[in-house]
Amino acid sequence: MGGVSAVDRAERVPKQDRSRATRQRLLEAAVSCLAEHGWAGSTVAVVAERAGVSRGAAQHHFPTREDLITAAVEYVAEERSTALRALFPEGAAGDRHAVVAALVDLYTGPLFRAALHLWVAASNEEQLRPRVTELESRVGRETHRIAVELLAADESVPGVRETVQGLLDMARGLGLANLLTDDAARREHVVAQWAGLLEEALG
């Protein structure tokens, strides 16, 4: 039995790199299209054109639009977690105001806007809904876990888990409001108020 030659290996690595790069471009293009045009305007053909990729190549990676968009929002979710962790590489050092502000930024940015379009689509698309529901459930658990860690919250204390969840619900609500108007000034006051409440509630 012949093994894989060094030449074959050398050719395969760049091909894998190209394939990975193509997938990445498609995901980034899908996120942009979703944020700007919503579900209806984010077909595989439109996303492929934006990514500078042929439709055939796009469908090789993502056979259906549901595959593409679900993968894109999963990518968004991972980017959200990565971005939040990157703000506090050494931990939050007890600065709860900074943590609240970072969480609110997470929900008022373009990544959340793209995810929101998928939620709207999933409410009307039977085949998409279970996949999005499962994905958002996992993202929600991860975001909650990161928030608990950054806030140094002790969830064994009654009411603390609900307090953290309330913070995330509030941040999501600000994200929804931000779709219609840029409410940055009012948002700063809300963040300050929530940070004070958390100091009292979490100790």
For the segment 68-78, what is each residue's pLDDT rounded down to a tens digit? 888 887 888 78
CB 33 within 8 A of CB 113: no
pLDDT one-digit tens code per residue, 105-128: 888 888 788 788 878 877 877 777
Is the pLDDT score of 1 beyond 60? no
Q: DSSP label at 182?
A: -
pLDDT of residue 156: 94
Mean pLDDT of 150-160: 92
Note the helical H segments in 53-159: 55-61, 65-87, 96-108, 110-124, 129-151
Neighbours of 29 (CB within 10 A): 22
By CB neighbour count within 10 A (0-12 exposed, 13-18 middle, 19+ buried), where does 37 fall? middle
Give me 69's structure tokens.
């968009």
Percent of the chain with pLDDT over 70: 93
What is the DSSP secondary structure assignment for residue 40, as one 8-state letter?
T
Evaluate whether 165 touches 144 at the Cβ level (below 8 Å).
Answer: yes
What pLDDT digit, counting tens, does each position of 137-154 carry?
A: 888 898 899 899 889 999
Cβ within 8 Å of residue 64, ≥6 positions away? 44
| Amino acid code (one letter) for 103 | L
The two structure tokens encoding residue 13: 């690595």
Q: Tokens at residue 60, please? A: 């090789």
Position 159 scores a pLDDT of: 92
Q: Does 140 or 165 have the greater pLDDT score? A: 165
Contacts of 114 (CB under 8 A, 6+ apart): 31, 32, 34, 35, 72, 73, 76
